[in-house]
């Protein structure tokens, strides 16, 4: 079973037929026969229909260096808060904690004036655990499959968990800063990041995947658009999109994408708090009115505007708590659903 990346720039759809070309690697580029080229940066390919537009808007994230957290904090010490780099550091603080907070430790040399709980070698995880814990628990004990994919994989923890019950797994994420660190963690490297304390003050933290590292022959990470992934249709036995439906501009399109990727008899695993935001999507794109969970379950059961119907095998509300800083957390009640393609 192939997990080759395909060129989204020349992919064509005619009726029920989709014609694609796979990409070949040449050094730090992926090249298509159509002439399009896609960069590979720090062993993470950036593959999307319009990479130039992405690179123009995200170039600071793409070319950032692995600086010591103390240096990063110094660079953002003077505002404004909404500048690109402070926003990137805040995003990484939130989602590195969310995915790997249970494995975070203070660095080998604690900064001067560190609190007792920040001493070298002490556990430095968030006091209430880490956000992904409840979702990981729902994934425990899944039957083994050949090929799985996660759309919106962020810092990579769920990719690691999926690899425990899949021969091979693909992770796709639009935020390059997050997926670049996922690549390093899954390669078994120790990664340092700044944990946001208050405002633009950050404390250094280190994390490593340990037994959740995944050999490259068993996983592929790619920076791309979940609404137009560079992936072959109908190939994946398990398709996962956690906390993504309310983070894309067209949630109904995302449901169509995950359905298209799912192999016959495969399963979808979705989760969302349905925390709609006007900055992300227009009002008419939002699903389900006052009860999106009910609507999403009905779409899956009925196959409404999908290619197949689904049997729901597991459905629950689970907690998802994100730590913004030392004095601020937000807890979502996330709708989790696992469904089998009929």
CATH number at residue 241: 3.40.50.150
Give domain status of residue 248, yes or no: yes
Predicted local distance difference test score (pLDDT) of residue 14: 75
Burial of 243 (0-12, 13-18, 19+ CB in 10 A): buried
* Beta-carbon count within 10 A of 77 CB: 12
Number of separate helices (H) and strands (E) present in the chain:
8, 16
Predicted local distance difference test score (pLDDT) of residue 123: 52
CA distances in angstroms from 305 to 253, 254, 257, 274, 292, listed in the order given:
10, 12, 11, 20, 16
Burial of 141 (0-12, 13-18, 19+ CB in 10 A): exposed
Predicted local distance difference test score (pLDDT) of residue 124: 62
Give domain status of residue 5, yes or no: no
Tell me the three state secondary structure of residue 272. Answer: strand
Give domain status of residue 191, yes or no: yes
Predicted local distance difference test score (pLDDT) of residue 117: 41
Give domain status of residue 110, yes or no: yes
Tell me the three state secondary structure of residue 271. Answer: strand
Give domain status of residue 177, yes or no: yes
Nearest to 154 by CA among 197, 186, 199, 192: 186
Tell me the three state secondary structure of residue 160. Answer: helix
Give domain status of residue 4, yes or no: no
* Beta-carbon count within 10 A of 188 CB: 14
Strands (DSSP E) along the chain, which ranges? 12-14, 17-19, 24-26, 29-31, 37-41, 44-45, 104-105, 145-151, 166-173, 191-198, 201-207, 219-223, 236-242, 262-272, 310-325, 328-341
Q: What is the mean pLDDT of each run of 10 residues along the chain (342 residues)?
A: 82 81 95 95 95 91 90 89 92 95 75 43 57 92 96 98 97 97 97 92 93 96 97 96 97 97 98 96 94 97 95 96 92 97 98
Give me the domain span that covers residue 104. 12-341
Predicted local distance difference test score (pLDDT) of residue 2: 56
The DSSP H or E segment spanning 73 is helix 69-75
Predicted local distance difference test score (pLDDT) of residue 16: 74
Give domain status of residue 202, yes or no: yes
Predicted local distance difference test score (pLDDT) of residue 108: 62
φ, ψ (nearest 5 deg) of residue 91? -60, -45
Predicted local distance difference test score (pLDDT) of residue 265: 97
Give domain status of residue 264, yes or no: yes
Report how many domains make up the chain: 1
């Amino acid at each position: 079973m192939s997990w080759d990346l395909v060129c989204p720039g020349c992919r064509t759809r005619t009726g029920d037929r989709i014609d694609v070309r796979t990409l070949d690697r040449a050094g730090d580029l992926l090249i298509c026969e159509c002439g399009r080229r896609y960069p590979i940066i720090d062993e993470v390919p950036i593959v999307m229909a319009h990479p130039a537009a992405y690179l123009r808007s995200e170039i600071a994230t793409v070319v950032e260096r692995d600086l010591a957290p103390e240096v990063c904090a110094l660079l953002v010490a003077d505002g404004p808060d909404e500048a690109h780099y402070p926003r990137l550091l805040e995003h990484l603080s939130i989602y590195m904690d969310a995915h790997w907070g249970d494995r975070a430790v203070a660095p080998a040399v604690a900064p001067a004036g560190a609190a007792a709980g920040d001493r070298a070698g002490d556990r430095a995880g968030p006091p209430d655990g880490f956000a992904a814990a409840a979702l990981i628990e729902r994934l425990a004990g899944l039957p083994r499959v050949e090929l799985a994919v996660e759309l919106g994989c962020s810092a990579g923890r769920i990719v690691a968990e999926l690899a425990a019950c899949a021969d091979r797994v693909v992770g796709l994420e639009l935020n390059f800063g997050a997926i670049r660190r996922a690549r390093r963690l899954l390669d078994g490297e120790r990664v340092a990041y700044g944990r946001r304390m208050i405002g633009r003050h950050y404390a250094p933290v280190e994390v490593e995947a340990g037994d959740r590292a995944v050999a490259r022959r068993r996983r592929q990470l790619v920076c791309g658009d979940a609404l137009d992934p560079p992936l072959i249709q109908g190939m994946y036995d398990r398709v996962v999109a956690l906390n993504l439906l309310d983070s894309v501009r067209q949630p109904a399109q995302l449901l169509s994408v995950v359905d298209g990727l799912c192999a016959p008899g495969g399963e979808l695993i979705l989760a969302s708090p349905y925390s709609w935001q006007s900055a992300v999507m227009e009002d008419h794109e939002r699903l389900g009115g006052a009860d999106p969970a009910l609507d999403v379950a009905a779409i899956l059961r009925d196959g409404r505007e999908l290619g197949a119907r689904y049997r729901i095998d597991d459905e629950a509300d689970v907690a998802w708590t994100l730590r913004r800083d030392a004095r601020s957390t937000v807890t979502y009640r996330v709708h989790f659903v696992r469904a089998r393609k009929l």
